[in-house]
Amino acid sequence: MMYGKGEERDLEIEGINLGHDGKDERLERDRSSSWFVDEKDSLREPLLSKNNRINNTSQLAIVGANVCPIESLDYEINENDLFKQDWRSRTKVEICQYMAIKWILALIIGLSTGLVGFCNNIAVENVAGFKLLLTNNLMQKQRYHLAFAALAAGNMILGIAAAALCAYIAPAAAGSGIPEVKAYLNGVDAHSILAPSTLFVKIFGSIFGVSAGLVVGKEGPMVHTGACIANLLGQGGSRKYHLTCKWLRFFKNDRDRRDLITCGAAAGVAAAFRAPVGGVLFALEEAASWWRSALLWRTFFTTAVVAVVLRGFMEFCRAGRCGLFGEGGLIMFAVNSSRPIYGTPDLLVVIFLGVIGGLLGSLYNFLIKKVVRTYSVINEEGPMRKLLLVLAVTFLTSCCSFGLPWISQCIPCPASAGDRCPTVGRYGHYKSFQCPPNHYNDLASLFFTTNDDAIRNLFISGNDKKFQLSSLLIFFVAMYFLGIVTYGIAVPSGLFIPVILAGASYGRLAGRLLSSITVLDVGLFGLLGAASFLGGTMRMTVSICIILLELTNDLLMLPLVMLVLLISKSVADCFNNGVYDQIMRLKGLPYLEAHPEPYMRQLIASDVVSGPLFTFSGVEKVKNIMCALRGTGHNGFPVLDEPPLTDAPELCGLVLRSHLLVLLKNRRFFKQKGMNSSAIMRNFKAYDFMKPGSGKGLKLEDLEINEDEMEMFVDLHPITNTSPYTVVETMSLAKAAILFRELGLRHLLVVPQTTGRHPVVGILTRHDFMPEHVLGLYPHLNPHKQRE
What letter does residue 431 receive in the DSSP assignment? B
Q: Quote the pLDDT of residue 292.
A: 87
Asked if 150 and 401 touch (Cβ cutoff 8 Å), the reply is no
Read off the pLDDT of residues 13-60 as tens digits, 9 standing for 90 and up: 233 333 333 333 333 333 333 333 333 333 333 333 344 566 656 667
pLDDT average, residue stretch 284-303? 92
Q: Quote the pLDDT of residue 6.
A: 37
Read off the pLDDT of residues 101-122 as tens digits, 9 standing for 90 and up: 999 999 999 999 999 999 998 8
Mean pLDDT lowest among 135-149, 535-549, 620-634, 664-678 = 664-678
Read off the pLDDT of residues 654-679 as tens digits, 9 standing for 90 and up: 999 989 998 998 887 888 777 677 77
Q: Does pLDDT of 343 surpass 60?
A: yes
pLDDT average, residue stretch 479-489? 94
Read off the pLDDT of residues 493-527 as tens digits, 9 standing for 90 and up: 999 999 999 999 999 999 989 888 888 888 889 99
Element (H or E) spanning 654, and its range?
strand 650-656
- Burial annotation 29-45 (CB, 10 A radius, 16+ → b, else e): ebeebebbeeeeeebee
Q: Does pLDDT of 295 surpass 60?
A: yes
Between CA 240 and CA 478 the distance in angstroms is: 50
Q: Quote the pLDDT of residue 304.
A: 96
pTM of the entire structure? 0.88
Q: Does pLDDT of 9 surpass 50?
A: no
Mean pLDDT lowest among 179-188, 470-479, 532-541, 674-683 = 674-683
pLDDT average, residue stretch 757-782? 90
Q: Does pLDDT of 3 surpass 80?
A: no
Q: Quote the pLDDT of residue 115.
A: 95
pLDDT average, residue stretch 579-603? 92
Between CA 663 and CA 689 the distance in angstroms is: 9
pLDDT band at 428; cut points 50, 70, 90: low
> Percent of the chain scored above 70 by pLDDT?
85
Reference 659, options 614, 627, 625, 621; nearest CA is 625
Report the relative pairing of strands 713-715 and 619-621 from DSSP bridges.
antiparallel
Between CA 202 and CA 172 the distance in angstroms is: 9
pLDDT average, residue stretch 746-760? 90
Q: Quote the pLDDT of residue 465.
A: 67
Asked if 159 and 390 touch (Cβ cutoff 8 Å), the reply is yes
pLDDT average, residue stretch 560-572? 96
pLDDT band at 4; cut points 50, 70, 90: very low
Q: Quote the pLDDT of residue 56.
A: 58
pLDDT average, residue stretch 441-446? 87
Q: Quote the pLDDT of residue 14.
A: 31
What letter does residue 286 receive in the DSSP assignment? I
> Percent of the chain scored above 90 by pLDDT?
46
Q: pLDDT higher for 537 or 24?
A: 537
CA-to-CA dists, residue 344 to 45, 341, 351, 514, 653, angstroms: 71, 11, 11, 14, 64
Element (H or E) spanning 99, and its range?
helix 92-140
Q: Quote the pLDDT of residue 693.
A: 67
Q: Quote the pLDDT of residue 300.
A: 96
Element (H or E) spanning 762, and its range?
strand 762-764
pLDDT average, residue stretch 164-173? 93
CA-to-CA dists, residue 177 to 164, 185, 201, 635, angstroms: 18, 12, 12, 27
pLDDT band at 425; cut points 50, 70, 90: low
Domains of the chain: 11-61+595-677+707-777 (3.10.580.10), 88-318 (1.10.3080.10), 344-586 (1.10.3080.10)
Residue 606: CB partners within 8 Å, gap ≥ 6?
51, 729, 730, 750, 761, 762
pLDDT average, residue stretch 297-314? 93
For the chain, helix (H) and strand (E) counts, in that order, are 26, 15
pLDDT average, residue stretch 719-740? 94
Element (H or E) spanning 640, and its range?
strand 636-641
Q: Give whichever of 278-282, 291-295, 340-344 has the largest mean pLDDT.
A: 278-282
Q: Does pLDDT of 160 surpass 80?
A: yes
3-class SS string, 359-394: HHHHHHHHHHHHHHHHHHHHHCCCHHHHHHHHHHHH
Read off the pLDDT of residues 246-268 as tens digits, 9 standing for 90 and up: 667 777 888 888 999 999 999 99
Q: Does pLDDT of 785 surpass 70?
A: no
Q: Quote the pLDDT of residue 556.
A: 81
pLDDT average, residue stretch 327-338? 51
Read off the pLDDT of residues 183-239 as tens digits, 9 standing for 90 and up: 999 999 887 889 899 999 999 999 999 999 999 988 889 999 999 999 988 886 555
Q: Quote the pLDDT of residue 90.
A: 82
Between CA 364 and CA 537 the distance in angstroms is: 7
How long is the chain? Answer: 788
Asked if 151 and 447 touch (Cβ cutoff 8 Å), the reply is no
Q: Quote the pLDDT of residue 54.
A: 66
pLDDT band at 681; cut points 50, 70, 90: confident
Mean pLDDT of the chain: 83
Mean pLDDT lowest among 72-81, 339-348, 459-468, 743-752 = 459-468
Q: Quote the pLDDT of residue 40.
A: 34
- Count other Cβ atoms within 10 Å, centred on residue 466: 12
pLDDT band at 787; cut points 50, 70, 90: low
Q: Quote the pLDDT of residue 325.
A: 61
Q: Does pLDDT of 482 surpass 70?
A: yes
